[in-house]
Amino acid sequence: MVPGSTPPPEPNRAPGEPAAKRYRVGTLAYTRSALIQVMFWMLWGDFFFQLLESLPSLIPLQLRWEGASDVLIGFNGSLTSICMIIMSPIAAVQSDRRRGWLGRRRPFLLWCTPPAVLSLMMLGLAKPGGALLQQLLARLGGSQFTTAGCTIAWLMAGSVLFWVFNTYIVQVYAAMVVDVIPAEVIGKFTGLYRAVGGLGSLAFNRWAMGYVEAHTFHVYALIGLLYAGAFYLIVWKIKEGNYPPPAPRARNRRWSGIMTYCRECFTHPFYLNVYCLPFFTWCSLVPMGYMVFYATAAGKPGYAATLGMTLKEFGELKSWTFLVQVVVYLTAGAFVDRFHRLRIGMVGLLLTGISYFCCFWFIHDPSSLLLWWCLNQAASAMFLVAYLSLLPRLLPTDKYGQFFSANSTIGFITLVLSPPLFGWLLETIRDYRYIFYFSGICMTLAFIACVTLFRQWQKLGGDLTFTPPRTERPASPATTGE
Protein backbone atom coordinates (compact mmCIF):
# COMPACT_ATOMS: atom_id res chain seq x y z
CA MET A 1 0.00 0.00 0.00
CA VAL A 2 1.27 3.47 -0.82
CA PRO A 3 1.87 5.38 2.44
CA GLY A 4 -0.87 7.90 2.97
CA SER A 5 -3.48 6.23 0.78
CA THR A 6 -6.83 5.01 2.07
CA PRO A 7 -6.19 1.63 3.75
CA PRO A 8 -7.83 -1.42 2.17
CA PRO A 9 -10.53 -3.42 3.98
CA GLU A 10 -9.46 -6.26 6.22
CA PRO A 11 -11.32 -9.34 4.95
CA ASN A 12 -9.36 -11.73 7.16
CA ARG A 13 -10.26 -10.02 10.43
CA ALA A 14 -12.26 -12.34 12.66
CA PRO A 15 -15.75 -11.29 13.80
CA GLY A 16 -15.54 -9.25 16.98
CA GLU A 17 -11.80 -8.67 16.57
CA PRO A 18 -11.01 -4.92 16.99
CA ALA A 19 -9.98 -3.12 13.85
CA ALA A 20 -6.36 -2.09 13.50
CA LYS A 21 -5.74 1.48 14.59
CA ARG A 22 -5.82 4.08 11.83
CA TYR A 23 -3.77 7.27 12.01
CA ARG A 24 -5.31 10.20 10.16
CA VAL A 25 -4.17 13.65 9.14
CA GLY A 26 -6.38 15.55 6.73
CA THR A 27 -7.50 13.14 4.01
CA LEU A 28 -4.56 10.80 4.67
CA ALA A 29 -5.13 7.55 6.56
CA TYR A 30 -2.28 5.30 7.69
CA THR A 31 -1.96 1.83 9.09
CA ARG A 32 0.79 1.52 11.66
CA SER A 33 3.25 0.14 9.10
CA ALA A 34 2.41 2.89 6.58
CA LEU A 35 2.94 5.55 9.23
CA ILE A 36 6.33 4.07 10.08
CA GLN A 37 7.28 4.25 6.40
CA VAL A 38 6.31 7.91 6.17
CA MET A 39 8.18 8.76 9.34
CA PHE A 40 11.24 6.86 8.09
CA TRP A 41 11.46 8.88 4.88
CA MET A 42 10.88 12.18 6.64
CA LEU A 43 13.61 11.32 9.15
CA TRP A 44 15.88 10.12 6.35
CA GLY A 45 15.57 13.54 4.74
CA ASP A 46 16.17 15.31 8.03
CA PHE A 47 19.53 13.56 8.55
CA PHE A 48 20.89 14.94 5.29
CA PHE A 49 19.11 18.24 5.80
CA GLN A 50 21.07 18.73 9.02
CA LEU A 51 24.27 17.94 7.16
CA LEU A 52 23.29 20.70 4.74
CA GLU A 53 22.35 23.10 7.56
CA SER A 54 25.81 22.56 9.12
CA LEU A 55 27.57 23.98 6.09
CA PRO A 56 26.64 27.66 6.62
CA SER A 57 28.44 27.47 9.97
CA LEU A 58 31.65 27.29 7.92
CA ILE A 59 31.10 30.70 6.33
CA PRO A 60 32.34 32.70 9.38
CA LEU A 61 35.51 30.59 9.31
CA GLN A 62 35.98 31.18 5.59
CA LEU A 63 35.48 34.91 6.11
CA ARG A 64 37.98 34.94 8.99
CA TRP A 65 40.55 33.13 6.83
CA GLU A 66 40.32 36.11 4.47
CA GLY A 67 40.79 38.62 7.31
CA ALA A 68 37.16 39.65 7.88
CA SER A 69 36.35 41.45 11.16
CA ASP A 70 33.72 40.36 13.67
CA VAL A 71 31.44 43.18 12.51
CA LEU A 72 31.76 42.13 8.86
CA ILE A 73 31.04 38.51 9.79
CA GLY A 74 27.97 39.74 11.65
CA PHE A 75 26.92 41.88 8.69
CA ASN A 76 27.01 38.83 6.44
CA GLY A 77 24.62 37.10 8.84
CA SER A 78 22.31 40.12 8.67
CA LEU A 79 22.42 40.17 4.88
CA THR A 80 21.33 36.55 4.59
CA SER A 81 18.62 37.13 7.19
CA ILE A 82 17.20 39.98 5.13
CA CYS A 83 16.85 37.53 2.24
CA MET A 84 14.99 35.12 4.53
CA ILE A 85 12.65 37.87 5.76
CA ILE A 86 11.70 38.64 2.17
CA MET A 87 11.46 35.05 0.92
CA SER A 88 9.90 33.31 3.92
CA PRO A 89 6.35 34.76 3.60
CA ILE A 90 6.43 34.32 -0.18
CA ALA A 91 7.45 30.66 0.10
CA ALA A 92 4.88 29.92 2.81
CA VAL A 93 1.90 31.55 1.10
CA GLN A 94 2.78 30.07 -2.28
CA SER A 95 2.96 26.55 -0.87
CA ASP A 96 -0.21 27.00 1.20
CA ARG A 97 -2.15 28.00 -1.91
CA ARG A 98 -0.65 25.60 -4.44
CA ARG A 99 -2.75 22.69 -5.66
CA GLY A 100 -1.51 20.02 -8.08
CA TRP A 101 -0.88 16.32 -8.58
CA LEU A 102 2.35 16.55 -6.54
CA GLY A 103 0.58 18.29 -3.67
CA ARG A 104 1.31 21.72 -2.29
CA ARG A 105 4.74 21.13 -0.68
CA ARG A 106 6.68 18.65 -2.82
CA PRO A 107 6.89 20.81 -5.98
CA PHE A 108 8.96 23.38 -4.10
CA LEU A 109 11.35 20.71 -2.82
CA LEU A 110 11.68 19.49 -6.40
CA TRP A 111 12.43 22.92 -7.88
CA CYS A 112 14.55 24.53 -5.17
CA THR A 113 16.97 21.70 -4.41
CA PRO A 114 19.19 22.06 -7.54
CA PRO A 115 19.90 25.81 -7.17
CA ALA A 116 20.51 25.33 -3.42
CA VAL A 117 23.12 22.67 -4.19
CA LEU A 118 24.73 24.83 -6.91
CA SER A 119 25.06 27.71 -4.45
CA LEU A 120 26.86 25.34 -2.07
CA MET A 121 29.29 24.50 -4.85
CA MET A 122 29.85 28.24 -5.24
CA LEU A 123 30.69 28.58 -1.54
CA GLY A 124 33.06 25.65 -1.77
CA LEU A 125 34.88 27.34 -4.64
CA ALA A 126 35.24 30.66 -2.79
CA LYS A 127 39.05 30.85 -2.91
CA PRO A 128 39.51 30.11 -6.63
CA GLY A 129 36.35 32.09 -7.39
CA GLY A 130 37.66 35.11 -5.49
CA ALA A 131 41.00 34.90 -7.30
CA LEU A 132 39.22 34.68 -10.66
CA LEU A 133 37.02 37.66 -9.78
CA GLN A 134 40.05 39.72 -8.77
CA GLN A 135 41.79 38.95 -12.07
CA LEU A 136 38.68 39.90 -14.02
CA LEU A 137 38.30 43.20 -12.15
CA ALA A 138 42.01 43.95 -12.62
CA ARG A 139 41.65 43.56 -16.39
CA LEU A 140 38.72 45.98 -16.26
CA GLY A 141 40.80 48.58 -14.40
CA GLY A 142 39.93 47.61 -10.83
CA SER A 143 43.48 46.98 -9.64
CA GLN A 144 42.62 48.30 -6.15
CA PHE A 145 40.56 45.16 -5.39
CA THR A 146 42.46 42.50 -3.43
CA THR A 147 42.03 38.76 -3.77
CA ALA A 148 40.91 38.53 -0.14
CA GLY A 149 38.31 41.26 -0.68
CA CYS A 150 36.97 39.55 -3.79
CA THR A 151 36.81 36.22 -1.95
CA ILE A 152 34.79 37.87 0.83
CA ALA A 153 32.42 39.35 -1.77
CA TRP A 154 32.12 35.92 -3.42
CA LEU A 155 31.27 34.30 -0.08
CA MET A 156 28.63 36.91 0.71
CA ALA A 157 27.03 36.52 -2.72
CA GLY A 158 27.03 32.74 -2.37
CA SER A 159 25.46 33.03 1.09
CA VAL A 160 22.61 35.16 -0.24
CA LEU A 161 21.99 32.81 -3.16
CA PHE A 162 21.96 29.77 -0.88
CA TRP A 163 19.54 31.27 1.63
CA VAL A 164 17.10 32.43 -1.05
CA PHE A 165 16.46 28.82 -2.09
CA ASN A 166 17.08 27.24 1.30
CA THR A 167 14.35 29.44 2.79
CA TYR A 168 11.85 27.78 0.45
CA ILE A 169 13.08 24.36 1.53
CA VAL A 170 12.99 25.16 5.26
CA GLN A 171 9.48 26.64 5.14
CA VAL A 172 8.02 23.92 2.92
CA TYR A 173 9.63 21.01 4.77
CA ALA A 174 8.40 22.29 8.15
CA ALA A 175 4.85 22.71 6.80
CA MET A 176 4.99 19.29 5.13
CA VAL A 177 5.61 17.64 8.51
CA VAL A 178 2.28 19.00 9.76
CA ASP A 179 0.55 17.89 6.54
CA VAL A 180 1.68 14.26 6.65
CA ILE A 181 2.35 13.41 10.33
CA PRO A 182 -0.76 12.86 12.54
CA ALA A 183 -1.09 15.27 15.47
CA GLU A 184 -1.33 12.44 18.01
CA VAL A 185 2.27 11.35 17.32
CA ILE A 186 3.79 14.73 16.50
CA GLY A 187 5.60 14.91 19.85
CA LYS A 188 7.27 11.52 19.42
CA PHE A 189 8.07 12.34 15.80
CA THR A 190 9.62 15.65 16.82
CA GLY A 191 11.86 13.88 19.31
CA LEU A 192 12.98 11.41 16.63
CA TYR A 193 13.26 14.25 14.11
CA ARG A 194 15.61 16.21 16.35
CA ALA A 195 17.54 13.06 17.30
CA VAL A 196 18.17 12.10 13.67
CA GLY A 197 19.06 15.71 12.89
CA GLY A 198 21.47 15.66 15.82
CA LEU A 199 23.13 12.58 14.36
CA GLY A 200 23.54 14.46 11.09
CA SER A 201 25.19 17.39 12.88
CA LEU A 202 27.33 14.95 14.86
CA ALA A 203 28.52 13.26 11.68
CA PHE A 204 29.44 16.59 10.12
CA ASN A 205 31.40 17.89 13.11
CA ARG A 206 33.16 14.63 13.90
CA TRP A 207 34.12 13.50 10.40
CA ALA A 208 33.95 16.53 8.11
CA MET A 209 34.96 19.59 10.15
CA GLY A 210 38.64 18.64 10.28
CA TYR A 211 38.84 18.49 6.47
CA VAL A 212 37.17 21.82 5.75
CA GLU A 213 40.26 24.00 5.47
CA ALA A 214 42.22 21.65 3.17
CA HIS A 215 39.28 20.22 1.18
CA THR A 216 36.64 22.94 1.27
CA PHE A 217 35.04 22.26 -2.10
CA HIS A 218 34.95 18.50 -1.59
CA VAL A 219 33.08 18.85 1.73
CA TYR A 220 30.52 21.23 0.21
CA ALA A 221 30.04 19.16 -2.93
CA LEU A 222 29.69 15.78 -1.19
CA ILE A 223 27.13 17.00 1.34
CA GLY A 224 25.20 18.92 -1.30
CA LEU A 225 24.87 15.88 -3.54
CA LEU A 226 23.89 13.59 -0.65
CA TYR A 227 21.23 16.08 0.36
CA ALA A 228 19.84 16.35 -3.18
CA GLY A 229 19.51 12.58 -3.45
CA ALA A 230 17.77 12.33 -0.07
CA PHE A 231 15.20 15.02 -0.80
CA TYR A 232 14.34 13.67 -4.22
CA LEU A 233 13.62 10.35 -2.50
CA ILE A 234 11.20 12.24 -0.23
CA VAL A 235 9.45 13.73 -3.26
CA TRP A 236 9.14 10.22 -4.71
CA LYS A 237 8.18 8.28 -1.57
CA ILE A 238 5.95 10.66 0.40
CA LYS A 239 2.42 11.32 -0.86
CA GLU A 240 0.40 14.33 0.19
CA GLY A 241 -3.34 14.25 0.74
CA ASN A 242 -6.08 16.35 -0.83
CA TYR A 243 -6.49 19.92 0.32
CA PRO A 244 -9.58 22.15 0.25
CA PRO A 245 -9.47 24.97 -2.31
CA PRO A 246 -7.55 28.03 -1.08
CA ALA A 247 -9.50 31.12 -0.06
CA PRO A 248 -10.27 33.47 -2.97
CA ARG A 249 -7.67 36.12 -3.59
CA ALA A 250 -8.68 39.72 -3.10
CA ARG A 251 -8.93 41.69 -6.33
CA ASN A 252 -8.30 45.26 -7.45
CA ARG A 253 -6.00 46.06 -4.55
CA ARG A 254 -2.29 46.12 -5.32
CA TRP A 255 -1.13 45.57 -1.76
CA SER A 256 -4.07 43.47 -0.62
CA GLY A 257 -2.04 40.28 -0.26
CA ILE A 258 0.58 41.94 1.94
CA MET A 259 -2.08 43.73 3.99
CA THR A 260 -4.05 40.52 4.48
CA TYR A 261 -0.91 38.65 5.53
CA CYS A 262 0.04 41.33 8.05
CA ARG A 263 -3.50 41.70 9.40
CA GLU A 264 -3.99 37.98 9.91
CA CYS A 265 -0.55 37.25 11.35
CA PHE A 266 0.40 40.36 13.33
CA THR A 267 -2.72 41.80 14.94
CA HIS A 268 -3.77 39.20 17.52
CA PRO A 269 -1.93 39.49 20.88
CA PHE A 270 -1.73 35.71 21.23
CA TYR A 271 0.29 35.28 18.02
CA LEU A 272 2.50 38.25 18.88
CA ASN A 273 3.25 36.41 22.11
CA VAL A 274 4.11 33.26 20.15
CA TYR A 275 6.54 35.24 17.99
CA CYS A 276 8.45 36.49 21.05
CA LEU A 277 9.94 33.01 21.50
CA PRO A 278 11.94 32.94 18.23
CA PHE A 279 12.83 36.61 18.69
CA PHE A 280 14.79 35.90 21.87
CA THR A 281 15.85 32.28 21.31
CA TRP A 282 17.23 32.97 17.84
CA CYS A 283 19.01 35.99 19.26
CA SER A 284 20.70 33.69 21.78
CA LEU A 285 22.14 31.59 18.94
CA VAL A 286 23.96 34.50 17.29
CA PRO A 287 26.79 34.83 19.83
CA MET A 288 27.35 31.08 19.65
CA GLY A 289 28.29 31.52 16.00
CA TYR A 290 31.59 32.90 17.37
CA MET A 291 32.19 29.78 19.47
CA VAL A 292 34.71 28.42 16.98
CA PHE A 293 36.85 31.53 17.53
CA TYR A 294 36.72 31.09 21.31
CA ALA A 295 37.60 27.40 21.21
CA THR A 296 40.30 27.41 18.50
CA ALA A 297 43.30 29.49 17.59
CA ALA A 298 41.21 31.51 15.11
CA GLY A 299 40.91 34.50 17.49
CA LYS A 300 42.30 37.93 16.63
CA PRO A 301 45.44 39.64 17.97
CA GLY A 302 44.73 41.80 21.01
CA TYR A 303 41.82 39.64 22.19
CA ALA A 304 41.74 37.59 25.39
CA ALA A 305 43.38 34.17 25.06
CA THR A 306 41.29 31.45 23.43
CA LEU A 307 41.33 27.74 24.28
CA GLY A 308 43.73 27.09 21.39
CA MET A 309 42.21 23.90 20.01
CA THR A 310 42.71 22.77 16.43
CA LEU A 311 39.72 22.77 14.10
CA LYS A 312 39.70 18.96 14.12
CA GLU A 313 39.77 18.85 17.93
CA PHE A 314 36.95 21.38 18.09
CA GLY A 315 34.82 19.39 15.64
CA GLU A 316 35.30 16.20 17.65
CA LEU A 317 34.44 17.96 20.92
CA LYS A 318 31.35 19.58 19.39
CA SER A 319 30.17 16.21 18.12
CA TRP A 320 29.78 15.03 21.73
CA THR A 321 27.27 17.82 22.38
CA PHE A 322 25.10 16.46 19.57
CA LEU A 323 25.31 12.95 20.99
CA VAL A 324 23.98 14.30 24.30
CA GLN A 325 21.20 16.06 22.41
CA VAL A 326 20.25 12.84 20.62
CA VAL A 327 19.68 11.11 23.98
CA VAL A 328 17.46 13.98 25.17
CA TYR A 329 15.55 14.09 21.89
CA LEU A 330 14.76 10.38 22.11
CA THR A 331 13.43 10.65 25.65
CA ALA A 332 11.81 14.09 25.65
CA GLY A 333 9.30 13.35 22.87
CA ALA A 334 7.24 11.06 25.11
CA PHE A 335 7.15 13.69 27.88
CA VAL A 336 6.05 16.33 25.38
CA ASP A 337 3.07 14.18 24.34
CA ARG A 338 2.17 13.47 27.97
CA PHE A 339 2.63 16.98 29.38
CA HIS A 340 1.93 20.11 27.39
CA ARG A 341 4.68 21.53 25.18
CA LEU A 342 4.57 24.91 26.92
CA ARG A 343 5.32 23.35 30.30
CA ILE A 344 8.29 21.38 28.98
CA GLY A 345 9.40 24.42 26.99
CA MET A 346 9.49 26.66 30.07
CA VAL A 347 11.64 24.15 31.96
CA GLY A 348 14.00 23.84 28.98
CA LEU A 349 14.34 27.61 28.61
CA LEU A 350 15.07 28.12 32.31
CA LEU A 351 17.73 25.41 32.39
CA THR A 352 19.32 26.64 29.15
CA GLY A 353 19.59 30.20 30.44
CA ILE A 354 21.19 29.03 33.71
CA SER A 355 23.64 26.77 31.84
CA TYR A 356 24.80 29.65 29.63
CA PHE A 357 25.79 31.66 32.70
CA CYS A 358 27.53 28.58 34.12
CA CYS A 359 29.48 28.29 30.85
CA PHE A 360 30.60 31.91 31.27
CA TRP A 361 31.73 31.35 34.86
CA PHE A 362 33.21 27.86 34.77
CA ILE A 363 34.73 27.19 31.30
CA HIS A 364 38.51 27.64 31.30
CA ASP A 365 39.89 24.76 29.20
CA PRO A 366 38.73 22.11 26.68
CA SER A 367 37.61 19.70 29.44
CA SER A 368 35.35 22.24 31.15
CA LEU A 369 34.08 23.35 27.74
CA LEU A 370 33.03 19.76 26.98
CA LEU A 371 31.24 19.36 30.34
CA TRP A 372 29.30 22.62 30.43
CA TRP A 373 28.55 22.78 26.72
CA CYS A 374 27.08 19.26 26.88
CA LEU A 375 24.87 20.28 29.82
CA ASN A 376 23.83 23.42 27.94
CA GLN A 377 22.94 21.49 24.82
CA ALA A 378 20.96 18.91 26.81
CA ALA A 379 18.79 21.70 28.26
CA SER A 380 18.51 23.33 24.85
CA ALA A 381 17.39 20.02 23.32
CA MET A 382 14.58 19.78 25.87
CA PHE A 383 13.30 23.18 24.76
CA LEU A 384 13.69 22.45 21.05
CA VAL A 385 11.62 19.26 21.19
CA ALA A 386 8.86 21.12 23.00
CA TYR A 387 9.03 24.15 20.72
CA LEU A 388 8.95 22.32 17.40
CA SER A 389 5.94 20.27 18.48
CA LEU A 390 4.32 23.36 20.02
CA LEU A 391 3.75 25.34 16.84
CA PRO A 392 1.38 22.78 15.23
CA ARG A 393 -0.79 23.08 18.36
CA LEU A 394 -0.76 26.89 18.52
CA LEU A 395 -1.03 27.90 14.84
CA PRO A 396 -4.06 27.42 12.50
CA THR A 397 -3.68 24.19 10.52
CA ASP A 398 -5.26 25.46 7.29
CA LYS A 399 -2.82 28.38 7.17
CA TYR A 400 0.06 26.77 8.98
CA GLY A 401 2.68 27.73 6.40
CA GLN A 402 1.58 31.37 6.51
CA PHE A 403 1.70 31.67 10.31
CA PHE A 404 4.89 29.58 10.50
CA SER A 405 6.55 32.01 8.11
CA ALA A 406 5.37 34.97 10.21
CA ASN A 407 6.90 33.29 13.25
CA SER A 408 10.13 32.73 11.32
CA THR A 409 10.15 36.30 10.01
CA ILE A 410 10.30 37.67 13.55
CA GLY A 411 13.25 35.37 14.19
CA PHE A 412 14.91 36.57 10.99
CA ILE A 413 14.49 40.18 12.09
CA THR A 414 16.51 39.23 15.16
CA LEU A 415 19.15 37.73 12.89
CA VAL A 416 19.32 41.00 10.95
CA LEU A 417 19.71 43.25 13.98
CA SER A 418 21.77 41.19 16.41
CA PRO A 419 24.84 39.93 14.44
CA PRO A 420 26.40 43.37 13.85
CA LEU A 421 25.54 44.33 17.44
CA PHE A 422 27.21 41.27 18.92
CA GLY A 423 30.15 41.67 16.52
CA TRP A 424 30.62 45.25 17.71
CA LEU A 425 30.34 44.20 21.37
CA LEU A 426 32.97 41.51 20.89
CA GLU A 427 35.32 43.91 19.14
CA THR A 428 34.83 46.30 22.07
CA ILE A 429 35.21 43.73 24.88
CA ARG A 430 37.83 41.66 22.99
CA ASP A 431 36.95 38.48 24.83
CA TYR A 432 35.02 35.68 23.10
CA ARG A 433 34.10 34.14 26.47
CA TYR A 434 31.32 36.76 26.70
CA ILE A 435 29.33 34.93 24.03
CA PHE A 436 27.92 32.77 26.85
CA TYR A 437 26.90 35.83 28.87
CA PHE A 438 25.07 37.40 25.91
CA SER A 439 23.28 34.13 25.13
CA GLY A 440 22.27 33.71 28.77
CA ILE A 441 20.60 37.13 28.82
CA CYS A 442 18.65 36.32 25.66
CA MET A 443 17.43 32.96 26.99
CA THR A 444 16.31 34.57 30.24
CA LEU A 445 14.16 36.98 28.24
CA ALA A 446 12.81 34.01 26.23
CA PHE A 447 11.83 32.27 29.48
CA ILE A 448 9.87 35.35 30.59
CA ALA A 449 8.13 35.45 27.19
CA CYS A 450 7.22 31.76 27.48
CA VAL A 451 5.68 32.27 30.93
CA THR A 452 3.56 35.10 29.50
CA LEU A 453 2.49 32.92 26.58
CA PHE A 454 1.53 30.10 28.96
CA ARG A 455 -0.77 32.40 30.92
CA GLN A 456 -2.44 33.65 27.75
CA TRP A 457 -2.87 30.07 26.48
CA GLN A 458 -4.64 29.20 29.73
CA LYS A 459 -7.04 32.13 29.30
CA LEU A 460 -7.92 30.83 25.79
CA GLY A 461 -8.94 27.41 27.09
CA GLY A 462 -5.70 25.67 28.00
CA ASP A 463 -5.51 21.88 27.92
CA LEU A 464 -9.23 21.34 27.50
CA THR A 465 -10.65 23.78 24.95
CA PHE A 466 -7.84 25.77 23.31
CA THR A 467 -8.13 26.34 19.56
CA PRO A 468 -5.97 28.76 17.56
CA PRO A 469 -7.68 32.18 17.40
CA ARG A 470 -9.07 33.11 13.97
CA THR A 471 -7.98 36.45 12.55
CA GLU A 472 -9.27 36.50 8.96
CA ARG A 473 -12.16 38.74 7.98
CA PRO A 474 -15.30 37.24 6.39
CA ALA A 475 -15.18 37.26 2.59
CA SER A 476 -17.37 39.88 0.91
CA PRO A 477 -18.38 40.44 -2.72
CA ALA A 478 -16.02 43.41 -2.89
CA THR A 479 -13.01 41.26 -2.07
CA THR A 480 -13.91 38.07 -3.86
CA GLY A 481 -15.03 39.69 -7.09
CA GLU A 482 -18.58 38.34 -6.90
* CATH code, 27-242+254-462: 1.20.1250.20
Phi and psi angles of residue 24, each rounded to the nearest 5 degrees, phi first: -125, 145
For 224, left (φ over 0), alpha (ψ -120 to 50), or beta? alpha
Cα 68–Cα 168–Cα 480 angle in degrees, nearest 5: 135
Q: What is the pLDDT of residue 228?
A: 92
* Residue 437 neighbours by CB distance under 10 Å: 17
- H/E/C letters for each residue in the chain? CCCCCCCCCCCCCCCCCCCCCCEEECCEEECHHHHHHHHHHHHHHHHHHHHHHHHHHHHHHHHHHCCCCHHHHHHHHHHHHHHHHHHHHHHHHHHHHCCCCCCCCHHHHHHHHHHHHHHHHHHHCHHHHHHHHHHHHHHCCCCCCCHHHHHHHHHHHHHHHHHHHHHHHHHHHHHHHHHHCCHHHHHHHHHHHHHHHHHHHHHHHHHCHHHCCCCHHHHHHHHHHHHHHHHHHHHHHCCCCCCCCCCCCCCCCCCHHHHHHHHHHHCCHHHHHHHHHHHHHHHHHHHHCCHHHHHECCCCCCCCCCCCECHHHHHHHHHHHHHHHHHHHHHHHHHHHHCCHHHHHHHHHHHHHHHHHHHHHHCCCHHHHHHHHHHHHHHHHHHHHHHHHHHHHHCCCCCHHHHHHHHHHHHHHHHHHHHHHHHHHHHHHCCCCHHHHHHHHHHHHHHHHHHHHHHHHHHCCHHHHCCCCCCCCCCCHHHHCC
Where in the chain are the domains?
Answer: 27-242+254-462
Q: What is the pLDDT of residue 244?
A: 86
C-alpha 282/C-alpha 383 separation (Å) is: 13
pLDDT tens track, the chain, 482 positions: 445 554 555 545 555 555 667 888 889 999 999 999 999 999 898 888 888 888 888 898 899 889 888 889 888 888 888 888 888 888 888 888 888 888 899 999 999 999 999 999 999 999 999 999 999 998 888 778 899 999 999 999 999 999 889 889 988 888 898 899 988 887 778 778 778 888 888 888 888 888 888 899 999 999 999 999 999 999 999 999 888 888 776 665 556 777 888 888 888 889 998 899 999 999 999 999 889 889 987 656 788 888 888 888 998 999 999 899 888 888 776 666 666 778 888 899 999 999 999 999 999 999 999 999 999 999 998 888 888 778 888 888 778 878 888 888 888 888 888 988 998 998 899 999 999 999 999 999 999 999 999 999 889 888 778 888 887 765 554 444 44
Q: What is the pLDDT of residue 132?
A: 94
